Every structure is written in C-alpha cells, then in structure tokens.
Copies of this chain bind each other. A is one copy, B any other.
Amino acid sequence: MNKVTVAVIGAGRIGQLHIGNILKSSLYHLKAVADVYIDHLKGSQLEEDGVLITADTADIFQDPEIDAVFICSSTDTHAGYIIEAAQVKKHIFCEKPVSFNVEETRSALKEVKKNNVNLQIGFNRRFDKHFSKVQDAMMEGNIGTPQIIKITSRDPQAPVIEYVKRSGGMFMDMTIHDFDMARYLSNSEVIDVTVKADNLIDPEIGKCEDTDTAVILLTFENGAIGVIDNSRQAVYGYDQRIEVFGNKGLVSADNEEITNVRVANEAGTSIDPLKNFFLDRYHEAYEQEIECFAESILQNKPLVCSGEDGQKAELLAKAAKMSHLEQRTVKLTELEEQTTI
C-alpha cells in the first residue's frame, strides 16, 4: 500500500477542509464522501472526479477497499462511527471531541483497542510548526524541567448562539485544544484544575449556562503549574501564544501576523493584523496532521495524537466545568473514580 484509500464522513466546514487537503496530498486516495445532506455535492467536481457521494455510511463501512475514515460529522455521532469503523478494521481520524460523555468515549476507545486500528484525534495544534518547535525545544532539554506553562488562546469573535448551544460549552469546545496543548507541552499529566470564569462578552452565552472568558490553573504531576487564559472574543484577532518556563530557560511561540510589513508615518507605526482565525492560522497544521495520520498507517509511525489524548482532554474539560460551577479546585481523580463506577 503506498496510498491510504479514505472516506470522509461529514462534509461541513471541517470535513471540506480535510477533503481539500486529502486531494492535495500524495499519500491519500479519496474514494467516498458521506453526509446526511448530499444535494450540494451531487454534480460537484468531486463527483465528476469519481468520488462516491452518498448519504449512507454503510457504503463506506462495507467497502473493503477503504482503509481509513475521517469522522467530521456532528459530535454526537463520533463515538458510534468510531465503534462501527473499528469493528470493520478501518483506521480512524476523528475530530475533537470524541464525545461529550466520558463513558461513551471510553467505550469507543475500547473498541479501537480491541480491533487494533489507529485512532487519531484532530488536535491540529500539535502539528503547528511554532508549537511543535516549542515542544521539541522542551523535549531536547533546552529549558530544563518545565515549571510554568502558559497558554493564551482567544478567538477573534464569539460563535453564533446556535453553535454555542450544541458546542458542549466553552471548555469542551475551545479550551479542549488548550488542555491538549498543556499536556503536550508539559509532557506530564494534570492533577487538578481550578477555574475562574465569567460571562463578559455576550449575555446570550450566559443564558446558555456557558462562559466566554476564563483563566484556568492546572497542577501537573511533575510539579509544573499551568495557566490557560481564554476569551471568546479578541477584537484584534486570533490570539494564540504559548510559553514554557523551565529551570534552565524559557521557550515561547508568539502570534503570526499576516505579513512582516510595517508602515510608519506621522500617525505612528503599525504592524500587520494577526492571521484571521484557525483556518488561516493552522492552515499548514491541518495539512500536516493528515500526513502524519497517513504515515501512521503506511509506515507504522507512532500517532502524535491518540484516542487516549482525546479522552484526557475531555476529562480536563469536564473538570474545568465542575471547577467553575462548584467554585473549587477539582482533582482529576474525582472524575476518574466517578467515571469508572
């Protein structure tokens, strides 16, 4: 096998992003796309080029030529599709989160393990060249033992309320990326989570019992302290910065401006705005993550972001929500015990 034959389930925004990247990659052959709504895809260039467009996922799961599926449908369907795919021995790339329910995620992962297929979770930021270089520097010992890990993660604008309602809440929808990044950068597990959060941007978000502004403290097993700050609305743009402070130094990644151009005049000096949002900022990371997934299948390379990584980020999101609601530090063991019952 020198190409992975794939199908994509879910042709919304993120599904279309992956379809585009799959088509550009030399490691993939796209055989089918499934969605509940397929009218807009009928007669498209995709179909012309011989890709099967179907509303029935059975066309995918029962096709023995398909090696792997990309699950890009709505979150409530993820776990079910993972289980179905695993049972027919297809490798799985699944968008985050696996589910909103810890039990469901556990069941899905169990099936993946049993069937010995690869499951990669779409934590694309691990593949960002800036962030992965920070992690490299940390792992190579350039800054010694991590002591303070800081993640700034602010969206340019709050999502529409319809999205908020089915998002699982800010922690599960947005901070989950930062939880994953915190684990990735610290190379350690989180012991407890403490949240100060508020609804400062859009009162409608508050009405959904969700928050839009938060600072989150994490304690790690290796002694490091983590701090994440989130906002659903940074009017100056998509603010994505990280730093890892260790006993031997500091490594940090700053934002990316659109260009390096400066204009200086009587009014002052201005630099370019930040790349607009995740599709721009993580453009290359999205390309990179699917290359790695293909290599895990074709060359047996280890997964950079496994199902277990997905599960742990979900637990952290859950702990954060609990900390916010109960206004106290929540230990991860509380959740782990709770969920093994």
**Interface of A with B (CB < 8 Å)?**
24, 26, 45, 129-130, 133-134, 137, 142-143, 145, 147-148, 150, 152, 154, 194, 196-198, 200-201, 213-215, 217, 219, 223, 225, 227, 229, 231, 233-237, 239, 245, 247-266, 268-273, 327-329
Q: Considering the chains assembled together, what is the distance between the CA atoms of A258 and B137 in angstroms?
A: 14
Nearest CB on B from A48, distance (A): 12
A265 and B252 in contact (CB under 8 A), knowing A150-B229, A200-B147, A225-B213?
A: no
Nearest CB on B from A21, distance (A): 11
- The reply to whether B194 and A217 contact each other, CB–CB distance below 8 Å, is yes
Q: Considering the chains assembled together, what is the distance between the CA atoms of A253 and B259 in angstroms?
A: 8
- The reply to whether A265 and B250 contact each other, CB–CB distance below 8 Å, is yes
**This protein's copies in its complex:** 4
Cβ contacts A to B, 13 pairs, < 8 Å: A133-B259, A134-B261, A142-B265, A147-B213, A150-B229, A197-B225, A198-B225, A214-B225, A215-B225, A235-B249, A237-B264, A250-B265, A327-B329
Q: Considering the chains assembled together, what is the distance between the CA atoms of A247 and B223 in angstroms?
A: 34
Nearest CB on B from A150, distance (A): 7
In the bound complex, residues from chain B placing their C-beta under 8 Å from that of A24 are 24
In the bound complex, residues from chain B placing their C-beta under 8 Å from that of A234 are 245, 250
- The reply to whether B263 and A137 contact each other, CB–CB distance below 8 Å, is yes
- Most chain B CB inside 10 Å of its own CB: which residue of A235, A251, A254, A257: A235
A261 and B266 in contact (CB under 8 A), knowing A225-B196, A233-B247, A235-B247?
A: no
In order of increasing CB-CB distance, the 8 nearest A-B pairs are A249-B265, A236-B264, A254-B260, A250-B264, A130-B259, A133-B261, A215-B225, A235-B266
Given A129-B258, A147-B213, 10 additional A-B pairs, CB 8 A: A143-B265, A145-B200, A198-B223, A225-B229, A235-B249, A236-B265, A236-B268, A236-B269, A256-B260, A257-B269
- The reply to whether A231 and B147 contact each other, CB–CB distance below 8 Å, is yes
- The reply to whether B256 and A251 contact each other, CB–CB distance below 8 Å, is no
- Identity of the chain B residue whose Cβ is nearest the Cβ of A255 in the assembled complex: B260
Which residue of B148, B213, B219, B268 is within 8 Å of A231 (Cβ)? B148
Nearest CB on B from A49, distance (A): 11
Q: Considering the chains assembled together, what is the distance between the CA atoms of A245 and B219 in angstroms?
A: 24
In the bound complex, residues from chain B placing their C-beta under 8 Å from that of A223 are 198, 200
